[in-house]
Amino acid sequence: MLIFQSPHNLYWLLLIPLCCIIYIYQTIRQRKKMAVLGNRDRIMALMPGRSKWRKHIRFGLLMLVVAALVLTIARPLYGTKQQTETANGIEAVVMVDVSNSMLANDVQPSRLDRAKLLVTNMVDKMKNDKVALGVFAGEAYPQLPITSDYAAAKTFIDALSAGMVTMQGTDIAAAIDLGCKSFTQNKDVGKAIILITDGENHEGGAEEAAKAAAKAGINVYVIGVGTTQGSEIPTANGPLTDANGQVVHTALNEQMCRDIAQAGKGLYLHLDQSNSAQDELQAQLKQLKQSSTTTSYTARNEQFQAVALIALLLLIIEACINDTKNAFFNKFKIFNK
């Protein structure tokens, strides 16, 4: 079955009837001008070498060339073939803190929004890597299983919001444990867990979980978002307050983040208004071991080369045809009067 990869380009075929209409109009106009000069047959007798049909043939060939070129840019596909692709990449699991403290705006527009921007930019720079996404607060939950579908990944990233996990807190140990379970069974690929958190209300056990991940060959990178000075947590009803009515003040726990990254044989990065954390993270991920993955699939055969060759041959033929009769062929007379 013949199909076209860019069928919208077939609309250019409408140029052909338009050109035909203009050509017919010009031919009729030319004949009217010739009729003013005298009898057409007598005028043609004064030009015995001029052919009546060759200019029409040339025009027809040009229209065929245009049609062939339009079909070429429409990229015709016919038949199938087996193709294999080899890709080198890593596996990364991103765990994002969605506790209420991530609503603080000591980095603009907020800690969570800044984290989402970093992850989106990271996914945009991925080519053959795989990525998974999870969220955590007092508990950890998966959002997107490990995949190479970057469009789906960015959709899930955009949907992240504070309050997705009802139990408040920062259970980083649970986030690391979930991250370790999110990878494929491929042991020859570099694996990284990327934790994005402000590290507040740490519930313990994170360093032990990071050490276990490192022992399994998984690097743990911690990205701290916020400032050590901290800020209030804005809500629709004003600053967030605790059970005693006191305004909650949240600040980044950098030392805890550093300890976890060191235990996980990774790196701690501070996410602020600049792109330094993002650039450093990309540099670190490039140093991980990349695994080769071969994928076989059935693809349709591109046929634009054959159509382009036909267009070229027609163009050469058109260029070789003159408006005058060929003296060589005039020597051969099949029918005599």
pLDDT single digits (tens) 301-319: 788 888 889 989 988 888 8
What b/e sequence results for 75-97 when a residue is b if at least 16 CB atoms lie within 10 Å of its CB, and e otherwise?
bbbeeeeeeeeeeebbbbbbbbb
Asked if 223 contacts 269 with a C-beta cutoff of 8 angstroms, the reply is yes
Give 191 or 234, the one with higher predicted confidence: 191
The conformation of residue 289, written as its DSSP 8-state character, comes to: P
pLDDT tens digits, residue range 79-117? 777 766 666 788 999 999 999 889 998 888 999 999 999
Q: In terms of Cα–Cα distance, which of 174, 125, 111 is closest to 153? A: 125
pLDDT tens digits, residue range 27-81? 888 888 777 766 666 666 666 656 677 788 889 999 999 999 999 999 888 877 7
| Apex 307 CA angle, 61 and 57, nearest 5 | 5
- pLDDT for the residue numbered 337: 46
Instruction: Give the domains, in start order, of the chain with CATH numbers.
Output: 3-80+300-330 (no CATH), 91-289 (3.40.50.410)
The terminus-to-terminus CA distance of the chain in angstroms comes to 52
How many C-alpha atoms does 89 have within 13 Å on its Cβ side?
Answer: 19
pLDDT tens digits, residue range 181-212? 999 888 888 999 999 998 876 677 899 999 99
- pLDDT for the residue numbered 114: 94
pLDDT tens digits, residue range 274-296? 888 889 998 998 888 777 665 55
pLDDT tens digits, residue range 118-138? 999 999 998 889 999 999 998
Q: What whole-number distance in Å separates Cα of residue 206 and Cα of residue 219?
A: 14
User: Residue 25: exposed, middle, or buried by beta-carbon count in 10 A (0-12, 13-18, 19+)?
Assistant: exposed
What b/e sequence results for 219-256 when a residue is b if at least 16 CB atoms lie within 10 Å of its CB, and e otherwise?
bbbbbbbbbeebbbbeeeeeebeeeeeeebebbbbbeb
Q: In terms of Cα–Cα distance, which of 208, 130, 139, 127 is closest to 168? A: 139
Q: In terms of Cα–Cα distance, which of 177, 123, 173 is closest to 148? A: 123
Q: Cα separations (Å) of 43 from 30, 48, 49, 50?
A: 13, 10, 12, 11
Q: In terms of Cα–Cα distance, which of 195, 213, 206, 192 is closest to 256? A: 206
